[in-house]
Structure 1
Amino acid sequence: MAWKTLDDMDLDGKVVLTRVDINVPVENGQVTDDTRIRRILPTIHDILAKGGKPVLLAHFGRPKGDRVPEMSLAIVRPALEAALGLPVGFAKDCIGAPAKVAVAGMEAGQVLLLENTRYHAEEPKNDPAFAASLAALGDVYCNDAFSAAHRAHGSTEGIARLLPSCAGRLMQAELSALEAALGQPQRPVVAVVGGAKVSTKLDLLGNLVARVNHLVIGGGMANTFLAAQGLDVGKSLAEHDMADTAREILAKAKDVGCEIVLPRDIVVAREFKANADNMTVPADACPVEAMILDAGPETLAHIQTVIEGARTLIMNGPLGVFEMEPFQTGTFAMLDVIAAQTAAGTLTSVAGGGDTVAAINAAGHGDDFTYISTAGGAFLEWMEGKTLPGVAALEG
């Protein structure tokens, strides 16, 4: 790996500008989920242990260059202090006199949080002068925000070109996990891709077909592929205008020897609601007035065989409408198999994406994957084979 980690840096007495993602949900001025905060703690603790002074750079919401009070990082500060177990200083700007004075006043063992980087319109523009103003505050740059690494912003890309740079522990874990899943994976590799629309994941499917041995397609996307093969999918969510594209992906998969795993049997209902009357039928027997809401047992048996024979698995999306009883059955049964194979030490499992993480947690398997990414867009772009500016800058 071409990028450095905290282990490669001399931090003693150094001000370490640390880009983190603490863009957490807030209601009534209170943080409602501190997952992202807890994930940056190892990096902060390690910088302190090495004698460094962590100065945190972060965005919060989308203020678009304005000082929007409800998007001040001061709101997040109490939750950060509670998770860290230490007081955290706060500067009312991330550049200029407020930031300089606050950094200059830091002593060993202290942590400082700077105000929302997106209060400056120059941040998303990756303005060189803005990046230089950030860089002037510190001695070393540490990027621990993989979730923002697909953005070429001043605090994610520009600053990395100006200071000795490294990856934080969360960034290191994300990159290592994704390298294991798609860079140099143990084979066979299976990818599970679900979601509503093929059109939103064209780049993903095109990249994966050439890199994995089995591609399991679920959710509304599977309906589009079934329809493209001439099957009637009734009132199911499907993009019929993507039929040619679906057929092209199927043909490409055949050419490169990648098995596309589509539903062999389906769970259908006439109403889109929890506990709706439902039945299981072959994939080519969907009633015209019904909709497909889950994969059937024959499909799951095949998916289980595929997963049990794999060494690496990467997941982005559920098999069905997991939010509603009883249509979570397929997704949860598949997750049980993934968890069991991971626990047995025979499978490296990596997952990411909002719906995916929600499904995994709902199934009670939040601790049972090798790695679960909370990065969202950056995770998806990495799976698509795209270069992430924030990562490329660390390698430069």
Structure 2
Amino acid sequence: MLNPKNRLIDFNLKNLKVLIRVDFNVPYSMGPTKVLSDLKILSSIPTINYLLDNDCSIIVCSHFGRPKGKYDTDFDLKPIVDRFSDLLGISVKKLEHFDFEHVTQCVQELKSREILMLPNLRFHPGEEENSDEFSSFLASLADLFVNDAFGVAHRSHASTVGVTNYLPSMPGFLMMQEIEVLQKLMSSPKNPFVAVMGGAKVADKIQVIESISKKADYLMIGGGMAATFLKAKGYEVGQSIIDADSLDLLQEFLKTLDAKKCELILPSDVKVEIPEKEQNVKIVSIKSIPKEGRVMDIGPKTVKNFSMRLRSANTIFWNGPMGVYEDERFSNGTISIAEAISSLRQSISTIVGGGSTADIVEKMQLLEEFSHVSTGGGASLDFLSERQMPALEALKI
């Protein structure tokens, strides 16, 4: 059971200055920067509103992109702050540069129920270095630290770990919700439990696949990983991109499945691309993938089979697209699985493991049809893999 040392609802927050770490590292388009997803911003608003209700002065901090420890106009937070202000219904002040003296002065002038957004944390090299200097500076701005950034809970940075050495610290409501949902998924899922795993590289997900296979009844594999799984099972996969370095590891994993209750379900047909052919997209059985072909998506028979298994589930975890969904020719598998899961009865627990899968669900306007859509891609996978989560350890969760 989740039992953090400190909880927001147990703390007297009245009129405090609160530093809150959020994850506003949102999908965007360049030139000019445009926010493409509201999910992460909306997900932290309940915690922000709770602080406002307690008359706090709120200092918000987040990273955005990879500016490499210095100011970069492409990663200025202005478009995100503008969107944050719109969604919150309150004008949010912002700063561009980490001039410590100026930042401190602006924070001191901050009134009750006002919000100030610090510059992009990664404009300062001390953030990713988890330097004492930057950690203590951030802590000097507030009376209390709240971490609501589950998406970076697997990072040991100044704003996720270092600052907790200097301030009373606690998780926000989003952080608590993410942990509770994922913890329950692994400790007491309602069976049948179906895991749908996609994406490109086996190496990125083999640990979470191993972990989930101990609990799941069915493990369905799509995306680029499917080609590597098929190769490991002895199938011809043509020119498909496979994770060759993970083949031995994957074959060892496949041997362990015999001793588990988990049934592995691979595609029975796939959509392949054959370069330099006039009709260069074909649907073929996995037994007849052409030597010049590349697996790009799951096929219609696989969609039907996966959907049938999903209809029998009481718990579903989905992470990773079923194909190269950015290309319309190979988006059908991903779209079909999203629609299949979202159409199931509401009593089923349906969890999306963040990252690109969350972006897909949001783009399809299906967020409300899932029980939980995680705001953390890598963080959710690390949590489910039982890897070290420095930010959670710092919060004593």
TM-score above 0.5: yes
Q: Which region of structure 1 is more displaced relative to structure 2, 152-161 or 89-98?
A: 89-98
Using the TM superposition, give the Cα deviation of residue 314 of structure 1 relative to its aligned residue in structure 2, in angstroms: 1.2
Pick closer, same or farther for the CA change 1:278–1:72 going to 2, 3 Å: closer
Superposed, which structure 2 residues align to 1:144-155 within 5 Å? 144-155=148-159
2:319 partner amino acid: N
- Distance in 2 (alpha carbons) for counterparts of 1:140 and 1:351: 31
- Distance in 2 (alpha carbons) for counterparts of 1:268 and 1:79: 40
- Which residue does 1:97 correspond to in 2? 101
Instruction: Say yes or no: does 1:338 pair with 2:341.
Output: yes
Using the TM superposition, give the Cα deviation of residue 150 of structure 1 relative to its aligned residue in structure 2, in angstroms: 1.3
Pick closer, same or farther for the CA change 1:278–1:30 going to 2, 3 Å: closer
Pick closer, same or farther for the CA change 1:56–1:240 going to 2, 3 Å: closer
Unaligned runs of 5+ in 1: none
Pick closer, same or farther for the CA change 1:225–1:59 going to 2, 3 Å: closer
1:293 partner amino acid: M
Contact 1:353 / 1:376 at 8 angstroms: preserved in 2? yes
SS at match of 2:176: helix
SS at match of 2:69: coil
- Which residue does 1:349 correspond to in 2? 350
Q: Which region of structure 1 is more displaced relative to structure 2, 61-70 or 167-176?
A: 61-70
Using the TM superposition, give the Cα deviation of residue 75 of structure 1 relative to its aligned residue in structure 2, in angstroms: 5.3
Give a deviation string over 1:325-371, Cα, whole Å, max 9, x none: 45333333322221122xx1232111134332344345553332111
Using the TM superposition, give the Cα deviation of residue 19 of structure 1 relative to its aligned residue in structure 2, in angstroms: 0.7
SS at match of 1:238: coil
Contact 1:181 / 1:313 at 8 angstroms: preserved in 2? no
Unaligned runs of 5+ in 2: none
- Distance in 2 (alpha carbons) for counterparts of 1:274 and 1:370: 43
SS at match of 1:123: helix
Contact 1:234 / 1:286 at 8 angstroms: preserved in 2? yes
Contact 1:122 / 1:154 at 8 angstroms: preserved in 2? yes
2:299 partner amino acid: G
- Which residue does 1:40 correspond to in 2? 44
1:27 partner amino acid: M
Give a deviation string over 1:285-306, Cα, whole Å, max 9, x none: 2233333333334433432332
Using the TM superposition, give the Cα deviation of residue 271 of structure 1 relative to its aligned residue in structure 2, in angstroms: 4.1
- Which residue does 2:370 correspond to in 1? 369
Give a deviation string over 1:221-270, Cα, whole Å, max 9, x none: 11112122222122333234543222211111222222111112333443
Aligned pairs, number: 393
Superposed, which structure 2 residues align to 1:6-85 within 5 Å? 6-24=8-26, 25=28, 27-33=30-36, 35=38, 36-74=40-78, 76-85=80-89
- Which residue does 2:119 correspond to in 1? 115
- Distance in 1 (alpha carbons) for counterparts of 2:245 and 2:128: 35
Instruction: Say yes or no: does 1:302 pair with 2:305.
Output: yes
- Distance in 2 (alpha carbons) for counterparts of 1:275 and 1:109: 61
Pick closer, same or farther for the CA change 1:154–1:280 going to 2, 3 Å: same
- Distance in 2 (alpha carbons) for counterparts of 1:368 and 1:204: 24
- Which residue does 1:126 correspond to in 2? 130
TM-score, structure 1 normalization:
0.89
- Distance in 1 (alpha carbons) for counterparts of 2:338 and 2:80: 33
Aligned-residue CA RMSD in angstroms?
2.7
Give a deviation string over 1:107-147, Cα, whole Å, max 9, x none: 22211122233333222122233322221221111111111
Using the TM superposition, give the Cα deviation of residue 210 of structure 1 relative to its aligned residue in structure 2, in angstroms: 2.4
Contact 2:192 / 2:217 at 8 angstroms: preserved in 1? yes
- Distance in 1 (alpha carbons) for counterparts of 2:281 and 2:109: 66
Using the TM superposition, give the Cα deviation of residue 104 of structure 1 relative to its aligned residue in structure 2, in angstroms: 1.9
Contact 1:207 / 1:384 at 8 angstroms: preserved in 2? yes
Superposed, which structure 2 residues align to 1:264-343 within 5 Å? 264-271=268-275, 276-281=280-285, 283-341=286-344
- Which residue does 2:248 correspond to in 1? 244
TM-score, structure 2 normalization:
0.88
